[in-house]
Chains A and B, each alone.
Chain A
Amino acid sequence: MQGFRRYVIRRLMLLVFVIWCILTIMFGLFQLLPGDPTSIFIDSNFSPDMIERQKELWGLNDPIWLQYLRYIRNMALFDFGQSFFQIAPVSEIMADKVKNTALMIVPALVISIVLGTVIGAIAGWRRGSKFEQSTVATSLFLHSAPSFFVGILVLMVFSYQLRWLPPGGMVSLGGPDGFWEMIVARDYWVHLILPGLVLVSREITGPILLLRSSMLEVKGSDFLDILRAKGLPERQIVTHATRNALLPLVTYIAVMTGLLFQGQVLLEIIFAWPGIGRELVQALNDLDYPVAQAALYVMALVTLALNFIADLLYGVIDPRVTYE
């Protein structure tokens, strides 16, 4: 336990270090912006006096090291300032967009993980069967297909040609509002079908391929023979095997969720889903830099946090892992 605590602390320090590096890179990046933020959104008919006052307000006249320290502090406290265009604190906008993105990826992830685990485990257990071969071939194909083109295709077919499903958005205009109202509304689920389908078609391949190969590995273990010799029913033996094969999946899920959280930008654009990725693209197009950098920061944070959790979980679920 002592070793574990030390490991957590070391891992936590690395996390803080990486976040600090990323913040520094971001600070430098936004310093490179041509001109200063005032020139971006302040009307040219502002008087020089007003511009000066605004600059003072934002601390742009302070020395750079002070600006840097203030930046780090604000970011650490999730104080992202005010959007240039939307009348809301950026942190509130972020919270809302993260929620929307989660509304798109979480259901797809749950389906992918549950279904993928079952399919992968069966494929690995029935090594060499037709089922295994076709599953692997399909998964490899789906895994390498460019998912945003798949998204465009399903949109063309199911929304524009067949008109079965809405062509985008999270809910219809004037549809349900608020988290709980939404997730119980049919409208939301109907809007989720297409993007969800595209997400599942790609994300499911990870658990399938992983479970299959780890099941193959477990299948060669001697302990399965002993379980058989013990006269356990087949079902119980498969349970043992799956329990062992699941170990690498836990880490994988956390990593995959993190990657998905930053990779779903394309699908949010295609399906006009008001998530954090789409918000970033819009902010960049509108030169709304407070929103843009907050979005970038939040996406990095979520990924890092999930990787961190993955590393910790690994030690918790596998009794063999020791920390020295």
Chain B
Amino acid sequence: MVSVLEVVDLHIRYGTGAGEARAVDGVSFSIEAGEYLGLVGESGCGKSTIAKAVLGILPPNGRVAAGEIRFQGRDIVRLPPAEFRQMRWRDIALVPQSAMNGFDPVYTVEQQIEEAIVAHVSWPAAERRKRIEELFAMVGLERQRLSDYPHQFSGGMRQRAMIAMAMVLDPTLVVADEPTTGLDVIVQDQILQRIKAIQEQLQKTMLLITHDMAVVAENCDKIAVMYAGRVVEYGGKEVFRTPHHPYTLGLCNAFPDLDDRERELISIPGAPPSLVDPPRGCRFAPRCPFATPHCSDVDPPLVEVAPGHSAACHYLDRAAEFRRMSEDPEIWRRAGEAA
């Protein structure tokens, strides 16, 4: 069977004042039907760019330079615009980063959900209404609030309405792009649980984009870790259990672990490299505590470390050693000073 989404060697560039930024630089991954993939990385690593490309809403200065995005086997990058437009929302829907501003402020929530239906299918008004009410019930919103304007909703309610809108045409794939940005912690949890519940219930194929390793660990069955436009580690749950890439190690240390409250939280010092002129070798080398001169010289390929689990590091054989060492905050601090 074909994958629902298969991204093959994708390259996306942005024209900027300083030159072309390679926001996404040779990324590949796939999501099978019913799978929940988490794409994780620091802000600016290209993860949201991938979401935008999948939905065909890259900003005018961005373009897919090479590679394919296959949706059920068809490359949507090269699809005629009208055909792609028809596919959007009906086949691929989005739960956006900015629920706050995701709705047009001068139309009611219902009007905006209805608009999505009308653009793609010709249901009679009563059926549209029924479907919207059904979805409102599913995300836990009161029916009476349908005719409210977005500003009358709280942040969490708005995001739930967004989820309802995303599900309205029962799409094959749902992309959730940092769906909890700007919400307070308790609401964040509710939203993520709501998404997870829907995913399990409806057997939805989902792509979750986040910077929060803990969220991915809790929700997803597959993970791709991105750094500076590349996937550095990719695989199933074992990515958390036995991380191989030093960057993944760093990310895992940066979020609290419920089983081990004693552990000190470590953040990775330094900042990601410029995407206009990325370093020659491994892009993480300047911040990596285990980097050698070889690392800044030669770019490591993505290598399978176990079936379905791969990482891009020259020293995969020392992964166990790195894991142990990375628990010492001192090691990261020193790497930060060196960089």
Contact = CB atoms under 8 A, between A and B. Distances in A.
Interface of A: 221-223, 225-233, 236, 240, 243-244, 247, 318-320
A244 B106 contact: yes
Given A229-B57, A244-B104, A319-B149, 9 more contacts: A223-B104, A229-B56, A230-B89, A231-B85, A231-B87, A240-B104, A240-B107, A318-B106, A320-B149
A221 B101 contact: yes
Interface residues of B, number: 29
Contact of A230 (B98, B105, B115, B151): B115
B223 to A, nearest CB: 24
Contacts of B100: 222
Most buried by A among B87, B90, B105, B120: B105
12 contacts: A221-B101, A222-B96, A222-B101, A223-B101, A223-B104, A229-B57, A231-B120, A236-B115, A236-B119, A240-B107, A243-B104, A247-B106
Nearest to B105: A320
A230 B119 contact: yes
B135 to A, nearest CB: 15
Interface of B: 52, 55-57, 85-90, 93-94, 96-98, 100-107, 115-116, 119-120, 149, 151
Given A231-B86, A320-B149, A222 B106 contact: no
A25 to B, nearest CB: 41
B105 A319 contact: yes
Contacts of B102: 222-223, 226
A227 B85 CA distance: 11
A232 B55 contact: no
Most buried by B among A225, A229, A236: A229
Contacts of A223: 101-105
Contacts of A233: 85, 119
Contacts of A244: 104-106
A236 B89 CA distance: 16
A223 B161 CA distance: 14
A229 B89 contact: yes
Given A225-B57, A225-B96, A231 B105 contact: no
Given A230-B119, A319-B149, A320-B105, A222 B98 contact: yes
Contacts of A240: 104, 107
A216 to B, nearest CB: 14
B96 A319 contact: no
A244 B103 CA distance: 12
B113 to A, nearest CB: 9
A322 to B, nearest CB: 9
Contact of A232 (B97, B105, B115): B115
